[in-house]
Amino acid sequence: MSKKVFIKTYGCQMNVYDSKRMADVLKPHGYSVSESSDDADLVILNTCHIREKAAEKVYSEIGRLKQIKTAKAAQGNDMYIAVAGCVAQAEGPEMMRRAPTIDMVLGPQTYHRLPDMLKTAGEQRAAGRNSARVLDTEFPTETKFDHLPEESAYSGPAAFLTVQEGCDKFCTFCVVPYTRGAEYSRPIADIVEEAKRLVASGVVEITLLGQNVNAYHGALADGGTANLGDLIHALDQIEGLGRIRYTTSHPRDMDDTLINAHRDVASCMPYLHLPVQSGSNAILDAMNRKHTRESYFDIIDRLRAARPDIALSSDFIVGFPGETDQDFEDTLDLVRRVKYAQAYSFKYSPRPGTPASVIEQQVDESVKSERLARLQALLNEHQLEFNTNSIGREMDILLEREGKLEGQLLGRSPYLQAVHVDVTSHENTLDADADKPYSGFMGKLVRVRITEAGPNSLKGELVGALH
């Protein structure tokens, strides 16, 4: 009998990848993916612990799901609720205590065991227990990648591919080492094979994922190890793979091999997300980042020497405990010197169990808000400037989905900008069907001249052949 699973994903791209793989694990057991929790036999909340009040948002969703579950039970239908991901890993026993309607709690390293958990939960429920209770937040000796089916639920021209997990850096503000575990890198041959399967299914662009993706050190068949630059070179040999990206990087792991890959590998996109977090050496030291503003500038100089057209994005935390006015001015100075094409910025919020959460010199919320507003105004100014400078340029755009207007498709530039492309004037509609005359462009790389720019997106017109 066919069953349905609804997976709600919070947070980072790695959770997006994990959610897809959960669907893959469940498919051989009769589960198809549903677009709604209302008709699902199993609901999985794949959680993220990075943002403030992440757990409270999950509990709010569980309260809504409880009503659906109760209504189904009244009609004699089963529904299971599972909480996965980093909040589950960090707060598993507390979640089970606080929300009895949860059937399963599983960490990000154990989702390959989902079929067994469902079997156990079903057996417990059949035995007459009011609620099946399964908790699995271990860090198993075997890896989830050893147990995943080859078939992937990915569809579309762009896909994520996790190559590295975990973190050994222990930044004082971050929970990742505690929720994802120690750094682990997949063997290079396994990654290449998965990438080949993705390309065979129509994927043109792959983004390599890792908590510290440039700390990748995967095993080779001869017993040696490969770094991320080596992996990019290996993936570049796959016919049909047009674009390679990677995220998220740490400044400590930007070696020459990786920098030179941006120079030597055409499929390696000229765009790099390289979080700096602060422009103050004192704050970087308090964060345990193990890099300085000077070493960060050196990396930027080397990247731009290797690939002059490279664009950068970053992450910033304002109001970290002990941050002075001068520390914040140092951050603004770094932003002015680097000029990011795009960036993410947040007010510091304590994460229970992290060293920074118990530092006494917490910054007042009003000061955090004022600093964040100033920083974001500067970052937005630079982002608009970068986009405006794109006007008149010709770029290859990967078309991914339909836009809001007739004959308009939406794609991504090499710099990850959203680009709205008018395809109505192009004579080649490929093998489109009658109802969607421009669908033949979907999933293709096309040459586009940029004609307009806004703060968050570009517009352009086709000028070249499809490929």
In this structure, the strands spanning 42-47 and 3-9 are: parallel
Residues 123 and 175 in one domain: no
Residues 94 and 234 in one domain: no
DSSP string, 112-165: GGHHHHHHHHHHHHHTT-SS--EEE----SS-GGGG--S-----SSEEEEE-EE
Which positions ≥6 away from 453 have C-beta within 8 Å?
384, 387, 388, 390, 391, 459
Last residue of a domain, one of 388, 414, 434: 388
Q: Is 411 exposed, middle or buried (0-12, 13-18, 19+ CB in 10 A)?
A: buried
Task: List the alpha helices (DSSP H) in 319-401.
Answer: 325-338, 365-388
Quote the CA–CA distance of 420 and 457 in Å, as a whole number. Answer: 8
Q: Count the Cβ atoms, other than its own, within 10 Å of residue 306.
A: 16
Mean pLDDT, consecutive 10-residue stretches, the chain (467 aa), reads 89 86 90 92 88 76 92 89 89 87 88 88 74 74 68 78 92 88 92 95 95 95 94 97 96 97 98 98 98 98 98 98 98 98 95 89 96 98 98 96 87 97 67 60 92 96 75
Residues 313 and 406 in one domain: no
Last residue of a domain, one of 388, 411, 426: 388
61, two tokens? 């969703």
pLDDT at residue 436, rounded to an integer: 61
CATH for 421: 2.40.50.140
Collapsing DSSP to helix, strand or coil, 101 comes out as coil
CATH for 292: 3.80.30.20
Q: Comparing C-alpha atoms, which of 153, 216, 155 is closest to residue 190?
A: 216
429, two tokens? 């509609």
The answer to whether 6 and 50 have CB atoms below 8 angstroms apart is: no
pLDDT at residue 437, rounded to an integer: 60
Residues 312 and 455 in one domain: no
The H or E element containing residue 293 is helix 293-306
Q: Which residues pair with 410 in a beta bridge?
A: 401, 420
Residues 355 and 426 in one domain: no
Angle at 446 (CA atoms; ends 444, 192), nearest 5 degrees: 45
Phi/psi of residue 226, each to 5°? -115, 140
Residues 340 and 405 in one domain: no
Strand order of the sheet with strand 158-162? 158-162, 205-209, 243-247
The one-letter amino acid at 225 = T
Last residue of a domain, one of 136, 165, 187: 136
Quote the CA–CA distance of 264 and 226 in Å, as a whole number. Answer: 17
pTM value is 0.85
Residues 206 and 337 in one domain: yes
Quote the CA–CA distance of 92 and 99 in Å, as a whole number. Answer: 11
Quote the CA–CA distance of 400 and 156 in Å, as a whole number. Answer: 7
Quote the CA–CA distance of 460 and 447 in Å, as a whole number. Answer: 10
The H or E element containing residue 409 is strand 408-412
Domain that holds residue 338: 144-388
pLDDT at residue 465, rounded to an integer: 62
Residues 407 and 429 in one domain: yes
CATH for 93: 3.40.50.12160
Residues 127 and 152 in one domain: no
Instruction: Calculate the alpha carbon distances from 86 to 173, 334, 424 in Å.
Output: 15, 32, 45
Quote the CA–CA distance of 315 and 147 in Å, as a whole number. Answer: 34
Residues 426 and 457 in one domain: yes
The answer to whether 349 and 369 have CB atoms below 8 angstroms apart is: no
Residues 315 and 381 in one domain: yes
Instruction: Calculate the alpha carbon distances from 372 to 7, 159, 319, 332, 343 in Å.
Output: 33, 32, 8, 11, 12
Quote the CA–CA distance of 210 and 162 in Å, as a whole number. Answer: 6
Residues 127 and 162 in one domain: no
223, two tokens? 């017993």
Q: Could you give the number of structural domains in the chain?
A: 3
